Amino acid sequence: MSERAISFVEAWLSERIQPDVFHDEEGPAERNKYLAEQLILDAGSAGIAPHEIEEEYPDLTSTVAEAMEAASDAEAKRLTLEED
């Protein structure tokens, strides 16, 4: 288990996954794949090998998709509470 890989992925997702910035034409599958690829590149720049990320997150694209969904749900909840 790579704690630094887990920490990196969690921090990366919390910093970069924002529900209001993703209005692309390709759709969510392509976006999630692109973001997973970018995460791996950024991890490499931080000295974390791809295999460390892949050991902890074998389906990184799904992890990104889940983070996107959670961010969207949180934003919807925030907006609902704001209306009340």
pLDDT in tens, 4-19: 999 999 999 999 988 7
- Please report which confidence band the pLDDT of residue 25 belongs to, taking 50, 70 and 90 as the band edges: low
pLDDT attached to residue 79? 83
**pLDDT exceeding 70 applies to what percent of the chain?**
90
Does the pLDDT of residue 55 top 60, yes or no?
Answer: yes
**Residue labelled with tokens 């934003």:** 75
State how many domains the chain has: 1
pLDDT attached to residue 77? 86
Query: What DSSP state is assigned to residue 26?
Result: S
Q: How many CB atoms lie within 10 A of CB 32?
A: 20
What is the extent of the structural domain holding 51? 3-83
